[in-house]
Structure 1
């Protein structure tokens, strides 16, 4: 894990995520951090309201504002920048999610780290937030950093697993990269309700996962719980987990964790960063 991409909108949430990313960059001995910001076209309505006109001056101002903002953001992060790590800035005319995906295709990005932005409005429409869209659509692993996440090294990693088609659906390489880079202890958690997910194949699938991860001496935990998020949060607190790894398609992460569900949204109520990897 040598290169980290940090998208930013220059908010306090983004600043905290960037400071956290710098600490992890120090821990994993990363070589490069890229601060990334996108800007979009300002469209003005001309004489014919059906024919929008592009304000070229507005584009220039947006470009300059983005570049200046990145340089100021980079300066703020100097106090947290590890030695021997190169920090670059990248400003692009694009939408955020496709922009990040494009960068990841053009450059050897190992992980994207970003906070949940949008202020209070995100609580009204969490699924539509930039961070969730990035985590859902970008193919590179994305670490979502809660605004109150402690800035500290990763010592304990929790992998949420349903033990279904483990070999076919577990993106093992991103998990291995995190474990190798951080030297963290690995916990594997399966959350069930009245053994409703236990099948005759479960013991075999458990063995398959162990074959993939045995060199990391994982500790396995099987917990019964009626509320997935509440059960996961309790486990995180009791076991002092530093990072959760989840595969969205495995247990409907974006249908379960990140939709509105009263006050039980893991993204807001856990102080633990969440790493999203796709199968």
Structure 2
């Protein structure tokens, strides 16, 4: 089994929040290392006359980043205790592009990040490091809501639209988290469009049941108009501790104007989201 959890950090309150979740998750699934990763970037200017000043600012920023990383790691190590080793990584890179290399270097099982609720403009256009990382990472990413406090993972909901499930549902990483946590699986389809026939639903349930038979999954069809509200209400009513989301690939303008369910969940879910590909 992979032995590390990656915790990208910018040293904010949200970063400490994600760290608390990562520590408790590591203890639940017997992971012994947490990699604290900080990606820093120097200020950018288009005036060549300021190149020397820019270089100095970059050096100063690196020194400050090192100091912040050391302080952050020290605090996290005290919280984690002796059973978990805290490893520091820092590099000059955008967060999302640096995560893959760090994951490979340290044999990472999960990336843990946090995100705050935000307005529609940020949600759809700007996004966040957590969402960008989750959509591009080949390693499962857990996005922790700002106000969520860790609960041992006992119930997991797989959000599934039942479209092309044979080619879009990654069975292996889902089975892995189920085995590691021994959690119960709920397969949830929010039928907003009412496009699926009874036969479509029956065939999808049969395939998913065969794939996750050992977990004895429950299947739920929710005929609701608002996807996020439906998932949040279901999670509250069924004590869901983790929601699995599988991003669907879309073109830029389709994502921008029609929205992405994964992005909606990331910014608005009351429960942590595990994004798998």
Pairwise same-fold verdict (TM > 0.5): yes
Contact kept in structure 2, 1:158 and 1:189, CA below 8 Å: yes
1:230 aligns with 229
1:163 aligns with 162
**Structure-2 separation of matches of 1:161 and 1:124:** 26
Report how far residue 39 of structure 1 moved: 0.7
> Structure 1 length normalisation: TM-score?
0.87
2:34 aligns with 33
State the Cα deviation string for residues 38-80 of structure 1 (Å, max 9, x = none): 111233555658xx66733222222222221111111222342
2:4 aligns with 3
Segments of 5+ residues of structure 1 without an aligned counterpart are 260-264
Segments of 5+ residues of structure 2 without an aligned counterpart are none
CA pair 45-149 structure 1, distance change in 2 beyond 3 A: same
State the Cα deviation string for residues 117-157 of structure 1 (Å, max 9, x = none): 6x97x764124221111111122111101111112211111
1:240 aligns with 239
**Structure-2 separation of matches of 1:29 and 1:62:** 36
**Structure-1 separation of matches of 2:91 and 2:164:** 40
1:95 aligns with 94
**Structure-1 separation of matches of 2:77 and 2:213:** 39
**Structure-2 separation of matches of 1:248 and 1:199:** 24
Report how far residue 253 of structure 1 moved: 8.7
Task: Select which of 118, 122, 127 maps to 1:125.
Answer: 122
1:22 aligns with 23
Report how far residue 199 of structure 1 moved: 5.8
CA RMSD of aligned residues (A): 2.6
The yes-or-no answer on 1:256 pairing with 2:260 is: yes
The yes-or-no answer on 1:142 pairing with 2:146 is: no
**Structure-1 separation of matches of 2:120 and 2:162:** 32
1:13 aligns with 14
SS in 1 for 2:89: strand
SS in 1 for 2:143: strand
Higher helix share: 2
State the Cα deviation string for residues 6-62 of structure 1 (Å, max 9, x = none): 00100001110111110011100102100010111233555658xx66733222222
Paired positions, count: 269
Report how far residue 211 of structure 1 moved: 1.1
Task: After superposing the two structures, state which structure 1 stretch, 40-49 or 5-14, moved more.
Answer: 40-49
**Structure-2 separation of matches of 1:171 and 1:160:** 12
